[in-house]
């Protein structure tokens, strides 16, 4: 099965923006950010392998496996130049795509990306990955966000519908297991080859919430030199919902440079 992506305005001569959601999400999770971008912007919004409409697509696994699947799909679509934005696990995938195809990536926006340090609240991710009904999903998302953040009912309904598909929870547990590393002392996430990014040469924006309970904000210091870093005071991990205007502004700034 091929990857699913919502496509908008790809006939445009402009390089499209490719959006990659985080673990357990679906492409429609980007709605709060998309609503704040140019409505005529060419867009490709993926359901990542093992998620949503891409439940049985090729490429289910850790960030490197998914990066290859996304690049292969972009090749099939004939897209030789594009902007990239990824959240959490999607940020790790976007980083690896940029590393592997730097001549094709016009700009890179990373939103609390995975892979920048070993620390991760894997238990919260597992609970979220096993949630199915709207109430469970709302609780799982709330545990990853700052206090008092409201998640849109329409988005939760779409999310729950995707989770009710046969095998959805099994796929997510397979994915979370693929990017965790167990040592004698702890369970952490695998990290990106960050030293390889020093000469990336792509306009890059990084956003991170200072109260992120999933990936500690201290990991932001591991970004390569030349990237623009914005720390969002008091925000948690779900910046697409918590600070959609800040995310949209970072995308616009990165795209303007690229």
Query: Considering only CA atoms, which of 232, 242, 241, 238 is closest in space to residue 210?
Result: 232
Q: Confidence class of residue 12 from pLDDT cuts 50, 70 and 90? A: confident
Query: Considering only CA atoms, which of 190, 153, 238 is closest in space to residue 63?
Result: 190
C-alpha distances out from residue 109 to 161, 178, 184, Å? 29, 24, 34
d(CA 130, CA 134): 12
Q: Confidence class of residue 258 from pLDDT cuts 50, 70 and 90? A: confident
d(CA 113, CA 90): 7
d(CA 145, CA 136): 15
Q: Contact, 206 vs 94, CB < 8 A?
A: no
**pLDDT the model gives residue 65:** 97
> Packing angle between helix 89-100 and helix 63-76, nearest 10 degrees?
60
Tokens for 199?
Answer: 């000469």
Residue 183: count other Cβ atoms within 10 Å of its Cβ.
8
pLDDT > 90? residue 85: yes
**pLDDT the model gives residue 225:** 94
d(CA 109, CA 87): 9
pLDDT > 80? residue 90: yes
Q: Contact, 196 vs 218, CB < 8 A?
A: no
**pLDDT the model gives residue 73:** 97
Q: Confidence class of residue 147 from pLDDT cuts 50, 70 and 90? A: confident
Q: Confidence class of residue 2 from pLDDT cuts 50, 70 and 90? A: confident
> Could you tell me where the DSSP H helices lie in 43-130?
63-76, 89-100, 122-130
**pLDDT the model gives residue 244:** 97
Q: Confidence class of residue 148 from pLDDT cuts 50, 70 and 90? A: confident
The b/e string for 87-101 (b: 16+ C-beta within 10 A; e otherwise) is bbbbbbbbbbbbbeb
Question: What mean pLDDT do residues 164-183 have?
Answer: 95
Average pLDDT over the chain, rounded to whole? 96
Across 56-60, 147-151, 228-232, least confident range = 147-151
**pLDDT the model gives residue 196:** 96
Query: Considering only CA atoms, which of 20, 2, 118, 106 is closest in space to residue 67?
Result: 20
Question: What mean pLDDT do residues 138-159 have?
Answer: 93
Bridge partners (DSSP) of residue 45 are 6, 19
Q: Which residue has the higher pLDDT, 13 or 103?
A: 103
Rounded percentage of the chain residues whose pLDDT exceeds 90: 93
**pLDDT the model gives residue 11:** 79
Q: Confidence class of residue 77 from pLDDT cuts 50, 70 and 90? A: very high
d(CA 30, CA 204): 19
Q: Confidence class of residue 114 from pLDDT cuts 50, 70 and 90? A: very high
**pLDDT the model gives residue 183:** 81
Residue 247: count other Cβ atoms within 10 Å of its Cβ.
27
């Amino acid at each position: 099965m091929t990857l699913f992506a919502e496509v908008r305005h790809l006939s445009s001569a402009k390089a499209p923006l490719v959006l990659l959601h985080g673990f357990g999400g679906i492409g429609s999770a980007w709605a709060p950010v998309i609503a704040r971008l140019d409505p005529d912007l060419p867009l490709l919004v993926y359901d990542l392998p093992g998620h949503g409409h891409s439940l049985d697509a090729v490429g289910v696994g850790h960030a490197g496996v998914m990066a290859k699947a996304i690049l292969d799909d972009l090749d099939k679509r004939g897209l030789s130049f594009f902007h990239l934005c990824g959240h959490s696990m999607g940020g790790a995938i976007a980083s690896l795509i940029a590393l592997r195809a730097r001549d094709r990536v016009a700009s890179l926006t990373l939103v609390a990306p995975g892979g920048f340090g070993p620390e991760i609240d894997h238990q919260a991710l597992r609970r979220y990955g096993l949630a199915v009904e709207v109430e469970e999903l709302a609780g799982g998302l709330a545990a990853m966000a700052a206090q008092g953040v409201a998640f849109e009912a329409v988005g939760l309904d779409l999310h729950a519908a995707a989770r009710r598909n046969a095998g959805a929870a099994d796929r997510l547990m397979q994915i979370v297991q693929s990017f965790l590393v167990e040592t004698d002392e702890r369970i952490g996430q695998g990290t990106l080859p960050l030293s390889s990014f020093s000469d990336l040469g792509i306009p890059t924006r990084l956003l991170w919430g200072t109260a992120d309970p999933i990936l500690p904000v201290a990991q932001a210091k591991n970004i390569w030199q030349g990237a623009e870093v914005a720390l969002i005071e008091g925000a948690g991990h779900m910046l697409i919902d918590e600070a959609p205007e800040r995310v949209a502004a970072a995308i616009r700034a990165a795209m303007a440079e690229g």
